[in-house]
Amino acid sequence: MITIKEAKTTAEMKEFIKFSFSLYKDNPYWIPPLINDELQGFDKKNNPAFEHAEAKFYIAYKDGKAAGKVAAIVNWQEINDQGKKKVRFGWFDVIDDIEVTKALLEKVYKYGTEQGLEYVEGPMGFSNLDKVGVLTEGFDEIGTAITWYNPPYYKDHFEQLGFVKEKEYIESIFSFANVDSALFMKASDMVKRRYGFKAMTFKSTDEVMPYVDQMFDLFNATYARLTSFVAVSDVQKEYFKKKYIGLINPEYIVFVKDKDDNIISFGIVMPSFAEALKKANGSLLPFGWYHLLKAKKHSKDVVFYLIGVEEEYQNKGVTAVMFEEYFKVFSKNGVRNCIRTPELEDNHAIHNLWKNFNPRIHKRRRTYRKDL
């Protein structure tokens, strides 16, 4: 027998989170999140996404044992500003039993219908800075700290239940040893002389902080054209500052200014925390913090998290200036592999940035949609 419980208390939310730990306990490719970090993200008092969103968290049981989970999310900012009457679902994990999947998703349908919404889409989080998509290729590739992992049967479950593909994402990796600096060094020198561009680099987090708000403003401007983009609010800026900036090696943050000292582009590269998080296994104590700190300073794999260029400068070689700085610091730090986060398949502008680096598409993922 399958039953569904809404998780509300702290103990129930921990059970919601820890289900994934039991599901993937023997899987070498799944990256465990920090349990307390997940709890804070689901806390209405802590996560500013709840200013414009609501969520319900459901746990499925089969014969009395936890068998799946899902979060049903309504982002009112997206609905009211973009007219997209959808209920999102995310943080979805389930055993290989389509009846359990069906029971969980029916809770999402019901929640969306009660809010007067017209369709469901997922997996996705509260905002564009959350994880997105169900993995459809690359099941034998290690995950990252900023993506979900799942077994192959998720795709089959969704399609058998009448879902259709909504958005397709690709993830790529390229070897830093194969990067030819001549591809961008000459261009960087030329555009700096022609346009007066200047790179900004940092040695400490304190140096970065005064510019983070400007970076988010540029992020909002440059990503606004993408499908389902929801702008980052001022309160969310503060939240993401506390949550992410301290984790990033400040050397891996690069801004570019124009001749008038206006920030026109940014690059955020994160050290790979995959192996560190596996060792931490959900907790900073007793030694999880040590593994994360070590990865921050010494990881030989890096993840290109965000890159944004102001629209009027997108064809003027700004990224060559950023790549010059990254080449210098990656060479110094002995970086081996550069990993790209999920990028919309139709975002050709971003794909063109990497075409000369011989990237290998190693994962694909997608969101699925179903009308209510």
Domain end marker among 170, 199, 221: 170
In terms of Cα–Cα distance, which of 257, 255, 256, 253 is closest to 268?
253
271 shares its domain with 322: yes
Contact 63, 1 (CB under 8 A): yes
pLDDT band at 227 (very low <50, low <70, confident <90, very high): low
160 shares its domain with 83: yes
Max mean pLDDT among 93-97, 124-128, 264-268, 306-310 falls in 93-97
45 shares its domain with 157: yes
Structural domain contains residue 339: yes
Q: Which CATH number goes with the domain that contains 80?
A: 3.40.630.30
Structural domain contains residue 369: no
Structural domain contains residue 106: yes
| Beta strand pairing call for 2-6 and 53-62 | antiparallel
Whole-prediction pTM: 0.93
39 shares its domain with 88: yes
CA angle, corner 218, sides to 230 and 73, nearest 5? 15
105 shares its domain with 215: no
pLDDT band at 228 (very low <50, low <70, confident <90, very high): low
Q: Is the pLDDT of residue 226 over 70?
A: no
Domain end marker among 150, 170, 190: 170
pLDDT score for 220 = 85
User: What's the number of domains the chain is made of?
Assistant: 2
Structural domain contains residue 354: yes
Q: Is the pLDDT of residue 258 over 80?
A: yes
120 shares its domain with 239: no
pLDDT score for 315 = 86
pLDDT per residue as tens digits for the range 166-197: 999 999 999 999 899 888 899 999 999 999 99
Mean pLDDT taken over the chain = 93
List CB contacts of 35: < 8 A, sequence separation 6 or more. Answer: 14, 17, 18, 282, 283
49 shares its domain with 81: yes
Domain end marker among 115, 146, 170: 170
67 shares its domain with 124: yes
pLDDT per residue as tens digits for the range 50-91: 999 999 999 999 999 999 999 999 999 999 988 899 999 999
pLDDT score for 235 = 84
Structure tokens at 363: 């994962």
Structural domain contains residue 340: yes
Domain that holds residue 122: 2-170
128 shares its domain with 211: no
Q: Is the pLDDT of residue 269 over 90?
A: yes
Q: What is the mean pLDDT of residues 20-44?
A: 96
Give all strands (DSSP E) within the chain, no chain letters: 2-6, 53-62, 65-75, 86-94, 119-122, 134-137, 164-175, 198-200, 253-257, 263-271, 301-309, 337-340, 343-344, 360-371
74 shares its domain with 178: no
Structural domain contains residue 119: yes
Q: Is the pLDDT of residue 229 over 90?
A: no
Structural domain contains residue 371: no
160 shares its domain with 215: no
127 shares its domain with 192: no
